[in-house]
Amino acid sequence: MLGSKMFTLALFALLCPGPTQSRDTHSLHYIYTALSKPVGLPGIHEFTAMGLLDGRMIDYFDSEHQAKVPKQQWMRERLPADYWDKGTQSRKSKQQWFKVNIGILMERMRQNDSGNLHVLQWMHGCEGETNSDGTLRFVRGMDMYSYDGGDFLSFDDKNGVWVAPTPEAEPTKRKWDDVQVLKEYTKGYLENECIDWLSKFVNYGQQQLKKKSPPELHVFAKNSRVQTNIVLTCLATGFYPKDVIMRIRRNGRVLTADDGLKSSGPLPNNDDTFQRREYVEVLKSDTSPYSCEVFHKATNVSLSESWDLSMLPVPDDDGSAVIGLVAALLLVLIGVGVILLVLRKRRINGRWNEQPVCQHRVIIVAMAPRMRPSNKSI
């Protein structure tokens, strides 16, 4: 049980980068994640916080190292030491806030068993579009909470109210709606201060943000858990920005979810580029031609590869079958996680977007000159 929870947590953190980007649109998002207890796994901390500019990590804090640090060279060069000192103090304060409030939620939901892991997350940020004079105008903001992977509370920026999708969140909604200064602060931060910082960061990091990388395309096949089937996988990797169009075709026809097609969505590599996988399970006896194609608009690169179905994978022995089963389960988790995140983001935006929002594992940073109202507790 713990293993699946931790995998989902890591997936959320990886997919959290934000909304679909175009060459005229930029986003700034922050992600906070708190666990109800330490788990003793490498790279998984009781509390983490990170900032993302156009899907790239720009700063990071965790409960082990206790310091907000830059993750891009231009952040290190352009921002003074007191920015990082104040940011560190702010995130230490947020760490305590999360510790208290995750306890409140566990009590509210009668989760008194100490053996289970619980996760409280907060995503917060904004998206801006470039005007003709080069300035950024506000497009949309996001301020939302999740608990144990489910929607808990979000801010309706248009109407200036908090939205509670579950009965357990109703007490928090009523409490926060009664604090007028909190609603005014949240709306003002999303529409003004967040955009101001987004504009500043885009200006600071414009050299890096202009760098574009085309995708590499790979296709491969592996055995399915069903002996008569194989899984065809298409992998595009090494591209930036993260917007790509991927298609798997059978006899020239584009496959869809109705055909069993699954997608990982865009996932970050460790070099600030992205990867994306699409895969489908087919019969080994199917001799139809299958191909995969990818189009990366930013670099205007279009690639296509075909599978040679005469070269099927070697049949699994008992040991590799177990490995294949584990891998298949992980792929299912990825697919489910991506679908949930896509639906969550689409509900927020009120429209359908091609890319999911992230989910790498949401947000207030100590860069705003004003402080959040101190009485904000769940």
Q: Helical H runs in 109-223? A: 170-177, 180-188, 194-204, 206-210
39 belongs to a structural domain: yes
Instruction: Report the CATH number that the domain containing residue 269 is assigned in CATH.
Output: 2.60.40.10
Instruction: Report the CATH number that the domain containing residue 141 is assigned in CATH.
Output: 3.30.500.10
pLDDT digit string, tens, across residues 237-263: 999 888 899 999 999 999 999 999 999
374 belongs to a structural domain: no
310 belongs to a structural domain: yes
Residue 131: count of CB within 10 angstroms of its CB: 10
Tokens 């500043």 appear where?
Answer: 200
Q: What does the alpha-carbon distance between residue 273 and residue 237 come to, in Å, rounded to a whole number?
A: 8
pLDDT at position 313, please?
Answer: 61
Same domain, 317 and 347: no
Name the packing angle between helices 318-349 and 2-15 (round to 10°).
50
Same domain, 147 and 160: yes
Same domain, 226 and 198: no
What distances in angstroms separate CA 158 from CA 163, 193, 198, one per listed residue?
12, 17, 20
Exposed/middle/buried for 351, CB within 10 Å: 0-12, 13-18, 19+? Answer: exposed
306 belongs to a structural domain: yes
Total of domains in the chain? 2
Same domain, 177 and 220: no
Same domain, 267 and 295: yes
Same domain, 192 and 246: no
Does residue 130 contact residue 119 with C-beta atoms inside 8 Å?
no
The overall average pLDDT reported for the chain is 80
Q: What does the alpha-carbon distance between residue 354 and residue 54 come to, in Å, rounded to a whole number?
A: 16
241 belongs to a structural domain: yes
Same domain, 89 and 238: no
Same domain, 235 and 306: yes
Q: Containing domain of residue 100, as a range?
A: 2-210+340-360
Strand partners, 128: 26, 138
Strand partners, 176: none
367 belongs to a structural domain: no
Same domain, 144 and 22: yes
366 belongs to a structural domain: no
Angle at 71 between CA 16 and CA 371, to 5 degrees: 70
Same domain, 312 and 226: yes
Q: What does the alpha-carbon distance between residue 64 and residue 45 come to, in Å, rounded to a whole number?
A: 7
Region 261-289: mean pLDDT is 90
Same domain, 156 and 304: no
378 belongs to a structural domain: no
Q: Is the pLDDT of residue 331 over 60?
A: no
Confidence of residue 16 (pLDDT cuts 50, 70, 90): very low
Tokens 């990590």 appear where?
Answer: 57
Same domain, 286 and 166: no
What distances in angstroms separate CA 309 from CA 134, 196, 229, 290, one per listed residue?
51, 53, 12, 8
pLDDT digit string, tens, across residues 84-106: 999 999 999 999 999 999 999 99
